[in-house]
Amino acid sequence: MVEGIIIQGLIKGGTYALLAVGFSLIFGVARMINLSHTCFYMLAAYGIYAFAKMLGMPLIAAAVLSLLATTIIGILTYRLFIDRVREHHVTVMLITLALAMVFQEWMIISFTSEPLGAPSFISGYWEIIGVKVSYQHLLTFGVALAVLICVWALLSKTRLGVAIRATAQDSEIANLMGINVRRILLVTMGMAAVLAAVAGIVVAPTLTLEPRMWTSPLVMIMAIVVLGGLGSVKGSFIGAFIIGFVEVLVVFLMPGGAFLKGAFALLVMVIILLVRPEGLFGIAFEEERL
């Protein structure tokens, strides 16, 4: 059972980390809560279904196309809608929420409300210390780690990364230092969309596609990001694994209450925040007057 908990927890955490890091990045840099973040995850998942199953393309081509399309939609969304109301924080949240509804309805109209299944990249499973893990899950975990390492390298080793971090710390000063803040925001939004799309592409085959699939991961990643400390990429990464393990522990230790895994994860978040109001790795907000 312990092996099961460890392996399942790592896989769950990896998926959440992919989604949460993008969300956290966009919050850290632009100070905005993007409620349509998980929609890009949904769009990418539906994209791979549409390209591969409906148009009969090879899976890799479908994945690349889907990734590209989602990223473009993400950047366009930012450019056309979010950028114009960036000053009003609540309006940003609401507009991203409304956009999420638009995406959801779009998917309902194009693919109906019925659950669909996307094709696996590799079918079958591997037994690791007696626990059956499907290749697709392993792939998810591997991709999650690889992508997150890339993000970390980008943020800490490149000029662009420095610019992004500078904007996150203080966008006005960054602007004065000659950083094109608007461009940085756009790039960040693109990166967040890519991360969400990658998650959608690798996770899609392990679950069902339905037009409301964006809501439950949205709640979970918001919990993760808050728990890790808003804007802290490291925090989101660790938070993702905490929440992943809590969910798996609930399933294994109280089988009759498996449905409570979401509620327990949220409870853990509330408790952590009561102890550390700024999250595990967040910067104390006390002095910052938003």
Partner 1 sequence: MLRKVIPVLVVCSLLVLLIVPGCGGEEGNVIKIGVIGPMQYVQGEHHWYGATMAAEEINDAGGIDVDGEMYTIELIKADSNEMTSPTDAAAAMEKLITVDGAQFVVGGFRTESVFPMIEVAMDEETIFLGCGAATESLCQLAVDDYDRYKYWFRVTPFNSTKLVSNSLMTLGMAGAIMQQGLGLEGPMTVAILAEQAEWADGMVAAYQAYVPAMLGMEVVGTWRPSATATDLNAELTAIEDSGAHLILTILSGPVGIPYARQLGELEIPCASVGINVEAQKDGFWDATEGHGNYETTLNTYAEGVALTSKTVAFIEEFQDRYDQTPTYNAGTYDAIYLLKEVIESTGTMDTDTLITALEEIDYVGAGARIVFMGTDTTTPHDVTYGPGYSTGLATQWQDGEMKAVWPNLGVGEWEGVTYEGVVMWQIPDRVIAYYTQD
Partner 2 sequence: MLRRLLKDFQGDVLAIPGRLLALIFFVILFFIPLFLQGSSGSYYLRIFIFANMYVIFAVSWDLLSGYTGQLNFGHALFFGVAAYTTALLNLHLDWQPWLTIPLGALAGVIAGLVVCLPALRLRGPYLALVTLAFPLILLGIVFAFTDFTGGELGISGLDRISNSRTTDYYISVAVMIVSVMIMWKLTDARSSLVRTGIVFHAIREDEIAARASGINTIRYKLLAFAVAGFFAGIAGAFHAHFMRIAGPSNLELTLSFQVIIWTVFGGITSIYGPVVGVYILFPLMELLRVVPEVRNLIFAGIVVAMLLFMPEGIAVWVRDKIERECPRCKLSNMAFRKTCRACDTPLYERAVD
> Rounded to 5 degrees, what are φ and ψ at 208?
-95, 145
> Rounded to 5 degrees, what are φ and ψ at 229?
105, 115
- CA 74 to CA 62: how far, in whole Å? 18
DSSP string for residues in 128-142: ETTEEEEHHHHHHHH
Tell me which of partner 2, partner 1, none is bound by residue 126, counting a contact when its beta carbon lies within the kind-specific cut-off of 5 to 8 angstroms. none
- CA 174 to CA 163: how far, in whole Å? 8
Q: In the complex, what is the shortest distance from the CB of residue 72 to partner 1, in angstroms, rounded to a whole number?
A: 25
Helix 135-157 to helix 159-169 angle (10° resolution) is 80
Q: In the complex, what is the shortest distance from the CB of residue 270 to partner 2, in angstroms, rounded to a whole number?
A: 6
Residues 132-161 close enough to bind partner 1 by CB under 8 A? 132-134, 137
Any contact of residue 29 with partner 2 (CB under 8 A)?
no
Residues 38-57 close enough to bind partner 1 by CB under 8 A? 53
> In which element (H, E) is residue 208 found?
strand 208-209
Any contact of residue 108 with partner 1 (CB under 8 A)?
yes
Q: Which residue among 75, 102, 162, 186 contacts partner 2 (CB under 8 A)?
A: 102
Q: Is 177 helix (H, G, I), strand (E, B) or coil?
A: coil
- Binding-residue pattern over the window 207 to 226 for partner 1, x denoting contact by CB under 8 A: xx-x--x--x----------
- CA 138 to CA 74: how far, in whole Å? 27
Q: Which residue among 98, 146, 176, 253 contacts partner 2 (CB under 8 A)?
A: 98
CB 273 within 8 A of CB 279: yes
Q: Which is nearer to partner 2, 48 or 272 (CB)?
A: 272
Q: Which is nearer to partner 2, 59 or 265 (CB)?
A: 265
Q: How many residues does the chain have?
A: 290
Residues 155-184 close enough to bind partner 2 by CB under 8 A? none
Q: Is 193 helix (H, G, I), strand (E, B) or coil?
A: helix
Q: Which residue among 76, 94, 112, 183 contacts partner 1 (CB under 8 A)?
A: 112
Q: Which residue among 58, 110, 149, 285 contacts partner 2 (CB under 8 A)?
A: 285
Q: Which residue among 56, 255, 275, 289 contacts partner 1 (CB under 8 A)?
A: 255
Q: Which is nearer to partner 2, 145 or 273 (CB)?
A: 273
